Amino acid sequence: MNIPMVDLQGQYKRLKSEIDTEIQKVLNTSSYINGPAVQEFASDMEKYLDVKHVIPCANGTDALQVAMMGLGLKPGDEVITTSFTFIATAEVIALLGLTPVLVDVLEDTMNIDPEAIKKAITDKTKAIVPVHLFGQVANMDEIMAIAKAHNLFVIEDNAQAIGANYTFANGDTKKAGTIGNVGCTSFFPSKNLGAYGDGGAIFTNDDELAAQLKVIVNHGMTVRYYHDYVGVNSRLDSMQAAVLKVKLPHLDEFAKARNFAANYYNTAFADCEKITTPITASFTDHVYHQYTMKLHNVDRDALQQHLFDKGIANAVYYPVPLHLQKAYQDPRYTAGDFPVTEKLSAEVMSLPMHTEFTEEQLKYVTDAVLEFIKK
């Protein structure tokens, strides 16, 4: 058997007639940039997320950069984020000349530690960037309370948890990415809501900020060829919007399929002391962008090879914490500074996760893992 990390082929085959029709519509109108498909998708997404503004852009990294530009963050401003994330989060902070301030994560959820955020705040802190890692939402009750107390912006990196629901302590619920001042997501093909190329979007309920973000993604242009701001060129193209428009109504069903696979894995590994299966915090549901387990006293490299030999894809997200990346070396940080992140980097391993599994395939994966672990 051959089990890829994501089964984009299988999902396309299932949705082929709908997707082909929408792509053909774009071809028929030849409206490739800012065409009707883009507006329709943005408006569908606003309804789905229950958020006032969805601003499509070229990718998730741009979404983060444009959000920070739109909030007026300036060189020297400190932005607090997690040391355990994909590089894009810190990359845009560095590119804008802002100062990334890294903090550790919680061992159970692997999401940013609110207590660590509190300790990292200085009079230069301007924003917090929680990353809803692997598909569950960080503790937004606490993060929003900290932000309020210190007058900070909250920029949610929601590239991995699109469609997840967050339940506040008072019982209210909101979609991930619509809780802070601004939310950012990616439509990279392997993300939960994936295009057939690059794509991204920014969400906000703030009218003024939305207007600013729309200007920034379009070269800082307010009136055609009049540029009031330095902007960027960051667009979602109509072909991608057509694909996303078809997939959006399936997003909740995708999350169910991912949960089915995760539950299968969890059950299979329940009695295995060498594996800690993912934990979902009480205030969030999990959309399993990744199924990331922790290994104890297991030779991870050898397990990875064992699975590769059986045609089973697997990966380590992420093997090197941000503060130990070569490009991000910083005299403020050294090995040992973020012990939970460093421990997780050594322990985690992600198994194939997508929307198209059969039970037979899941059994093949779990049997192969257990065969190695129990040896």
Ligand X SMILES: *Cc1c(COP(=O)(O)O)cnc(C)c1O
Tokens of 17: 């007639």
Count of residues engaged in binding ligand X, rule: CB under 6 A: 15
Distance set, CA 108 to CA 84, 102, 117, 154, 160 (Å): 13, 19, 17, 23, 17
Residue 124 has phi, psi (to 5 degrees) of -95, -10
- Residues 151-170, interacting with ligand X (CB under 6 A): 157, 159-160
Which range touches ligand X (CB under 6 A), out of 12-20, 57-65, 76-84, 140-148? 57-65
Q: Which is nearer to ligand X, 61 or 355 (CB)?
A: 61
Distance set, CA 127 to CA 27, 146, 152, 231, 232 (Å): 42, 11, 5, 20, 21
- Residues 196-225, interacting with ligand X (CB under 6 A): 198, 200
Out of 12, 32, 48, 188, name the contact with ligand X by CB under 6 A. 188
Shortest gap between Cβ of 133 and ligand X (angstroms)? 7
**Residue 32 engages ligand X in binding (rule: CB under 6 A):** no
Spatial distance between the Cα atoms of 106 and 114, rounded to a whole number of angstroms: 9
Out of 81, 83, 85, 234, name the contact with ligand X by CB under 6 A. 85
Q: Which is nearer to ligand X, 303 or 324 (CB)?
A: 324
Shortest gap between Cβ of 238 and ligand X (angstroms)? 18
Strands (E), the chain: 53-57, 78-82, 99-103, 125-129, 153-157, 165-167, 173-175, 182-186, 200-204, 221-223, 226-227, 275-276, 291-295, 348-351
Residues 293-332: x/- map of binding to ligand X (CB under 6 A)?
Answer: ----------------------------------------
State the residues that interact with ligand X by CB under 6 A: 59-61, 85-86, 88-89, 131, 157, 159-160, 186, 188, 198, 200
